Chains A and B, each alone.
Chain A
Amino acid sequence: MAQRTVTVASASGLHARPAKLFVQEAVRLGVPVRIRVGEKSVPANSMLGVLSLGATQGTEVTLESDAPGADAALDALVALLAQDLDAEGALDG
């Protein structure tokens, strides 16, 4: 099983725009990946699952997959989580 651990870099955590970009990328890659915080593990292609992790900036998350192509997919997703995806700032209101 391929596995990577990464700290969420986005200021708003893994919510809103960052969550959307992450799930879109997981869907695009098409490799079954699970994302885990502590004991809770959900499919990376599920927006509701990813939101339910409640990961904020600084939360450590683990990505796991044993599918073919897992290493490349995990690397791509780790790179995404390690960036601040909130470049456009928070909405007021």
Chain B
Amino acid sequence: MADPGRPVAPGEGPPSAGRADAGPAGAELAGLGVSQGRAAGPVIRMAPPPVLPGPRQVTDPAAEAAAVVKALESVTADLRQRAATAAQGKGGGDGTASAGADDAAEILDALAMIADDPMLREDAEAAVRDGLDAPHALDAAFTHHRETLAALGGYLAERAADLDDLKHRAVAACLGLPMPGIPAPGHPYVLVAEDLSPADTAGLGTDVVALVTEKGGPTSHTAILARGRGLPAVVACAGITALADGTVISVDGKTGRIGVGLTDEAVAEVRRSDREERERLAHSSGPGRTADGHPVKLLLNIGSAADLRPGAEGVGLFRTEFLFLDRKQEPSFDEQVAAYAEVFARAGTVVVRTLDAGTDKPLPFLGLPPEPNPALGIRGLRVDRVLPAVLDTQLDAIAEAARATGADAWVMAPMVTTPAEAAGFARRARARGLTRVGAMVEVPAAALLADRLLAEVDFLSIGTNDLSQYTFAADRQHPGLADLLDPWQPALLKLIAACADAGRAAGKPVGVCGEAAGDPRLAPVLVGLGVTSLSMAAVCVPAVREELSQHTLEECRKLAALAR
């Protein structure tokens, strides 16, 4: 990685990865910056989950049963208290955090309901009657329900992690240990943890100024929640949990850099520059441009009309599958027309991605059988091999919604792998009167033949998350492979460049719509490689717009040459 300003990737090992009581001034750690902004303060590490002691001989079952109830009541009360605090808006930092605070209150409330669940309590009481002591009875009851949810799969399996988190809280309460989870020291601090669960992040108070985790990747829960709340965050930061509580550090959520052992003046400087930066971004508006006026379209990634926000130049990725999660029957033509028209009527230009589902992201109505290796199986456009009618209906509905609203509707297929697939998709879309037809580039095979894809379609859109996964043979959710999934990896940038070059030669647009497109440091590099549009979550648009406006096209090209 040739960019001199680039932080050291986790796998490359920062030279000074912290000693426990360390904090030699000027030392640095580095991870992946996933939520921009800068902050500084003393480290507090989150309490680890309690260790279950060996089983005890039970002499008084009634006392054990009472201890079970008391532990569950105290966990419930603690969560309700934190939900109430979050609902009062105290959970947020500045004005940007109110939506995040609402989400947090909802999450905490739902967790309190589970801690207070009558079936759970009855199961724990039954375990006591079977001879277990209170902590083991709680452990058994939570584990039983966790397995029930995990067996149901999908959304419910994801909730299984919540039950582990609640179990740790209940066992800690029962053993008289400090409640694992977010500390409340009464002063601003940087929260440091191995990784953060949804319950952890939902309970963050205003005293947390930044998040740094040892594990986790760019698409982890920590990253998504931190971005939603505007909290600076760095993940995959090797060595961070070795720092002692109280070590004063700075966190740069853009570069991923952590400064260790800061003076009071340095802390004040970090806070001042962050405040200035946020004020500057709040006033940003207008179309995307480099410093010398080269236009770069800034577009939104949305799942439905509810995600639309002002300030962008259209929609670069409309993920239609989000409209139909959990459907047992295929959504009808009329229903699809209505859903698409709602978005078309409110956004001038919309790039619609046809259903991106399959055995990796199951949509119940497709009824696809499980596969041993779903990421390499029937997904995206490949579903069309077994269920062609689904795409026909969807293209009909997109065309009808476009006619009805007069919108500039572009359509693209996910997981296109060969020029023949691109040609087949384009033929079917054009037969319905759709004139702007494209292909997503998520598979290296497609990037390598970008010129031949562009002979068949009108534009390309690069999905960097999947393109990384397939180029580096690294599962995009794998918490231990974040360095391979880093969008700065030169091999990924080289594939993006190949697409952009093909686009320039053909005179056709080539955009990026993965997480990388919302990274302000990467934006000038992508533009320098020749990318013509960047599509991202609405919250990322101002920082990307500002960053582009600071570089001329020539500078972007130089940055791109260095990064490759």
Is the CB–CB distance between A89 and B109 below 8 Å? no
How many pairs, one residue from A and one from B, have CB atoms within 8 Å of each other in the complex?
Answer: 74
> Which of A23, A24, A46, A56 gathers the greatest number of chain B CB atoms within 10 Å?
A46
- Of the candidates B119, B303, B322, B328, the one whose C-beta lies within 8 Å of that of A48 is B119
A39 to chain B, nearest CB (A): 15
Residue ID in chain B nearest A52 by CB atoms: B148
- Can you list, as one digit per residue, whether each of B303-328 has a CB less than 8 Å from chain A (1) or not (0)? 11011000000000001001001111
Identify which of residues 2-24 in chain A touch chain B, using a CB-to-CB cut-off of 8 Å: 11-13, 15-17, 20, 23-24
How far apart sit A7 and B328, CA to CA, in the bound complex (Å)? 13
Scoring B residues 509 to 526 as 1 if CB is less than 8 Å from chain A, else 0, what string do you get? 000000000000000000
Chain B residues within 8 Å of A13, by CB: 326
Number of interface residues of B (CB under 8 A): 30
Residues of A contacting B322 in the complex (Cβ-Cβ under 8 angstroms): 90, 92
Question: With an 8 A cutoff between CB atoms, is A65 at the interface?
Answer: no
Which A residues are CB-close (under 8 A) to B156? 15, 51-52, 54
Q: How far is the CA of A12 from the CA of B156 in the complex (A)?
A: 12
Q: When the two chains form the complex, which single residue of B152, B319, B325 contacts A12, counting CB atoms closer than 8 Å?
A: B325
Could you say which interface size class chain A belongs to?
20 to 34
Q: Is there an interface contact between B328 and A58, defined as CB atoms closer than 8 Å?
A: yes
Q: Which residue of A lies closest to B109 (CB)?
A: A20
- Determine if A47 is an interface residue (Cβ-Cβ < 8 Å): yes
Tell me the complex Cα distance, A8–B364, Å: 16
Cβ–Cβ contact B327 & A57, under 8 A: yes
CA distance A93 to B117 in the complex (A): 27
Is A80 part of the contact surface with B, judged by Cβ < 8 Å?
no
A29 interface contact, C-beta 8 A: no
**Are A51 and B159 in contact (CB-based, < 8 A)?**
yes
A57 contacts B328, C-beta separation under 8 Å: yes
Q: Taking the nearest CB of chain B, how far is it from the CB of A8, in angstroms?
A: 10
Known interface pairs A11-B326, A12-B326, A92-B322; A52-B110 also in contact (CB < 8 Å): no
* Interface 0/1 of A32-64, CB less than 8 Å to B: 000000000011011111011010111000000
Q: Is there an interface contact between A46 and B159, defined as CB atoms closer than 8 Å?
A: no
> Which A residue's beta carbon lies closest to that of B219?
A93
Q: How far is the CA of A42 from the CA of B122 in the complex (A)?
A: 13
| Complex interface: chain A residues within 8 A of B304 (CB) | 89-90
CA A45 to CA B121, docked complex, whole Å = 12
Whole-angstrom CA separation of A90 from B306 in the bound complex = 9
| CB of A29 to closest CB in B, whole Å | 14
From residue 51 to 93 of chain A, which have CB atoms closer than 8 A to chain B? 51-52, 54, 56-58, 88-90, 92-93
Please pick, from B106, B119, B155, the residue contacting A49 in the complex, using a CB distance under 8 A: B119
Interface residues of B in 74-133 (CB under 8 A from A): 106, 109-110, 113-114, 117-120
Q: Which residues of A line the B interface, CB within 8 A?
A: 11-13, 15-17, 20, 23-24, 42-43, 45-49, 51-52, 54, 56-58, 88-90, 92-93
What are the 6 A-B residue pairs with the smallest beta carbon separation, nearest first? Answer: A46-B119, A92-B303, A89-B306, A47-B113, A93-B224, A48-B117
> Would you mind naming 28 contact pairs between A and B with Cβ atoms under 8 Å apart?
A11-B326, A11-B327, A12-B326, A15-B155, A15-B156, A15-B326, A16-B155, A17-B106, A20-B106, A46-B117, A46-B120, A47-B114, A47-B117, A48-B119, A48-B149, A49-B119, A51-B149, A51-B152, A51-B156, A52-B148, A56-B364, A58-B329, A89-B306, A90-B303, A90-B325, A92-B307, A92-B319, A92-B322
